[in-house]
Structures are given as structure tokens and as C-alpha cells.
Amino acid sequence: MIRIFFLFCLFISSLTQVSMADEQADLAKLQEEIKKLQSWLKETESEHDKLSEALRKSDENIGKIAKKIDNTRSQLNTERARLKKLKAEQSQLRFLKSEQKQQLAKQLTGAQKLGNQGSIKVLLNQDDPQQISRMLKYYEYFNKARMESIQTLIVNLKRLNNIENEILAQQNQLIKTENSLLKKNKQLNNEKKQHKKLLASLELQRQQKSNDLSQKQKDQKRLQQLITEVATLFDNSVRKDDARPIRSLKGKLPRPAKGSIVKAFGNKNAQARSKWQGWLMKGYEGSAITAIHHGRIVFSDWLRGFGLLLIVDHGDGYLSLYARNQSLLKSVGDWVYQGENIATLGSSGGFKEPRLYFEIRHNGKPQDPAAWLKR
């Protein structure tokens, strides 16, 4: 806003000395800033789209990984249930095998006790030869069947042991897969958070730049309106010249208000990171502010950063500026005389305490009021 204000003051002070082409050049600088902001917003739109696309892909990949994790856990549950069932079957077979072994051991022990006479005793105890033959056959079949049963149990136990090993290997592989997927899922979530953070930061920057662009466009429009209004004003009116030009009264002009100087010309302005280009004067709310010299009001309105502002054109490129006023008593086009009340002291523009901000400019350049006003 200080830049806009400077351009405006430069325009006012040079109406009678500087060509309109020079003023348009100053306005073009503001238009160039607007153009750069528009270009930046256009460039970041592509970056914004890329981040949005990356965020979309992250969401899709996280969804796919989550589905794989769910499937893997389902497979793990199936394999664990299968292993549980297999172990129950193994336990049953081991029990049967143990029983068969015990029965066979009893038979072997009995046979050892009988020795080779076991089968002879069986023959001698039978009267019918056919019965004897059948008993021998039964004896042989019984032993053979028991051996085959034990052999089958052994084969089944080996098969179940192999299956158990396969299931355990499959379980281990599934656990590794699950851990890998969980790690990948964590990585994707971290990437998603980073994308969201970058996107939020970019959106904030874009919003700030958009606001800046909007304000500069408003400033541009306002400046153009002021140029048109002031140009029309001076084109359509005859200027009243004071008998004594302001330059001849240097060091003799009256102060614009009663009160002490809080900030002098050239002092550091901490808030604006610059130097004061005029005086900041302490005063009472509503006290009178007077014109330092004869002239015509060329600005009487609120201006961002200055509050209610009044500017008087004294001719020959000299301006006096009165800011932060409580009220403005004159309108654009009014003629004023030295010592005439033109405003009341206040704190408009968002300032806390009643102060008058006062400047003198020549062809847009700030002048030290101490060199122009009475001590």
C-alpha cells in the first residue's frame, strides 16, 4: 500500500510538470506485479494437480495393500486351522500305532515263551485235522494283518509329518509376506501424509497469493480511478495561486497540529522495516488539524495503511499529507488557506492511539518537515 500511496503522491505532485506517459509507466509497474502473481498461480496449478494425483495413487495403493494383508491373514487362519486338524489326526494315529505295537509285543513275548513248540502245541490240542489246518492259517493271517496294520500306521504318520512340515513352511512364508505388506503399508501412509502436508502448504500459499492478487487488482482499480478523477478536476478548474509560493516560505510554515513529535523524519520504522518519511505527532482525539499553506484538496478519503487521509496540493509539485484523522472536514476540489481547519486528529486505519501522520513531498519525494515548519 505504501507503494500505491507513493505512486499516487507522485502523480498528484507532477500534474503540472510531468507528462501523463510517466504516470502510466508507474501504473504499468503495478500491472507487471499483477501479471507475475497471475503467472505464479498458473504455474502452481500444475504442481497442485501433480500432488493431488500423487495423493490419489497413494490412496489406491494403500487400498490394494490392505486387501492383500486381509487375504494373507485369511490364508494364515486357514493354514492354522488345517494344522490343528492335522495334529489331532497325528495324535490319533500315534495312539493306534502304540496300541498295535503293544499287541504285537505281547504276541512276540508269548511266542518266545512257547518257543518253536507253539505251533506244535496248537496241532496237538486239536483232534480234527481240518480244524488244525484252519487254526494254523488263522494264526498266520492274524500275525500278518497286525504287521500290515502297523506298517500302514507308520506310512500314514510319515505322510502326516511331511504335510505338517509343508504347512509350517507355508505359515512362515505367509507371516513373512504379512510383515512385508505391513511395512509397505506404513511406508505408503507416510508418503500419503507427506503429500497431504505439501498439498496443504501449497493451497495456503495459493490462497495468500490469490488474496494478494485481489488486493493489488483493487489497488490498481482505485489508482486508475484517482488518476481519472484528479485529472478531470484539474482540467475543468482554474487554479488560484497564492501570492507567496510555498518554496519561498521554507522554515516559516506553521505546524499542522499542536503536540510533540513522536517519530521524526528518517527515524527507523520497525513495523514497516523502513524509515519514517514524515512526522508522527502526538495529540488529543478530536483536536484541530490545519493546512500549512494555501492549496487545493486533491484527496479526501480512507486509504489502507493511512486511515482517513487528506492531501493538499500547494502548486509547483509540493504536497502536504495528513493521515490517521478522526474526520475529514474538506472534500476533493475545495480550496484551503494557511491555518484553516481541514481535519480532526484521530487513530483511523486500525491504529491504537491518536496520532497525526504528516508529510511534505516535492514531485513525489518526501521532504523533512523540520526544514519547512517553524520550530
269-294 per-position pLDDT tens digit: 766 567 888 999 999 999 999 999 99
Closest CA to 290 of 316, 329, 264, 248: 329
Looking at the chain, the whole-number percentage of residues with pLDDT higher than 90 is 28
Query: Is there a contact between 256 and 279 (Cβ–Cβ < 8 Å)?
Result: no
Q: Is the pLDDT of residue 11 over 60?
A: no
Residue-level pLDDT at 116: 47
Q: Is the pLDDT of residue 4 over 60?
A: no
Confidence band, pLDDT 50/70/90 cuts, at residue 145: confident
Which set of grid coordinates corresponds to residue 205? 500459499
> Which residue, chain included where needed, has cell 518526501?
366
Sign of CA dihedral 81, 84, 85, 86: positive
Ranking 64-68, 136-140, 242-246 by mean pLDDT, the lowest is 136-140
Residue-level pLDDT at 125: 57
Average pLDDT over residues 338-362: 94
Contacts of 38 (CB under 8 A, 6+ apart): 213
Confidence band, pLDDT 50/70/90 cuts, at residue 15: very low
Residue-level pLDDT at 364: 85
Residue-level pLDDT at 232: 58
Residue-level pLDDT at 301: 93
What does the alpha-carbon distance between residue 141 and residue 94 come to, in Å, rounded to a whole number? 24
Is 256 strand, coil or helix?
A: coil
Is 77 strand, coil or helix?
A: helix
Closest CA to 69 of 202, 232, 188: 188
Q: Is the pLDDT of residue 304 over 70?
A: yes
From-to residues of CATH 2.70.70.10 in the chain: 242-375
- Cite the DSSP H helix spans in the chain: 2-13, 20-114, 118-124, 129-235
What does the alpha-carbon distance between residue 339 and residue 312 come to, in Å, rounded to a whole number? 13
From-to residues of CATH 1.10.287.2610 in the chain: 1-236
Contacts of 270 (CB under 8 A, 6+ apart): none
Q: Is the pLDDT of residue 78 over 50?
A: yes
Q: Is the pLDDT of residue 68 over 60?
A: yes
Global model pTM greater than 0.95: no
What does the alpha-carbon distance between residue 128 and residue 40 come to, in Å, rounded to a whole number? 118
Residue-level pLDDT at 16: 41
What does the alpha-carbon distance between residue 18 and residue 345 come to, in Å, rounded to a whole number? 33
Residue-level pLDDT at 20: 45
Q: One-letter amino acid identity for 185?
A: N
Q: What is the pLDDT of residues 217-230, one digit of tens each?
A: 777 677 667 656 65
Of residues 80 and 267, the one with the higher pLDDT is 267
> Which is it for strands 318-328 and 341-345: parallel, antiparallel or unpaired?
antiparallel
Query: Is there a contact between 299 and 233 (Cβ–Cβ < 8 Å)?
Result: no
Of residues 55 and 62, the one with the higher pLDDT is 62
Residue-level pLDDT at 127: 56
Of residues 323 and 58, the one with the higher pLDDT is 323
Q: What is the mean pLDDT of the chain?
A: 78
Q: Is the pLDDT of residue 260 over 90?
A: yes
- By CB atoms closer than 10 A (0-12, 13-18, 19+), residue 170 is middle
Residue-level pLDDT at 229: 63
Residue-level pLDDT at 111: 54
Q: Is the pLDDT of residue 19 over 50?
A: no
Question: Measured in Å, how far apart are the chain's first and last C-alpha atoms?
Answer: 31
What does the alpha-carbon distance between residue 310 and residue 303 come to, in Å, rounded to a whole number? 10
Is 268 strand, coil or helix?
A: strand
Looking at the chain, the whole-number percentage of residues with pLDDT higher than 70 is 73
CATH superfamily of 242-375: Glucose Permease (Domain IIA) (2.70.70.10)
Q: Is the pLDDT of residue 181 over 60?
A: yes
What does the alpha-carbon distance between residue 222 and residue 4 come to, in Å, rounded to a whole number? 9
Class of domain 1-236: mainly alpha
Q: Is the pLDDT of residue 159 over 60?
A: yes
Note every long-range contact of 238-243, with CB atoms under 8 Å and residues 24 or more positions apart, other chains counting.
Answer: 239/296, 239/315, 240/294, 240/296, 240/335, 241/315, 242/293, 242/294, 242/295, 242/314, 242/315
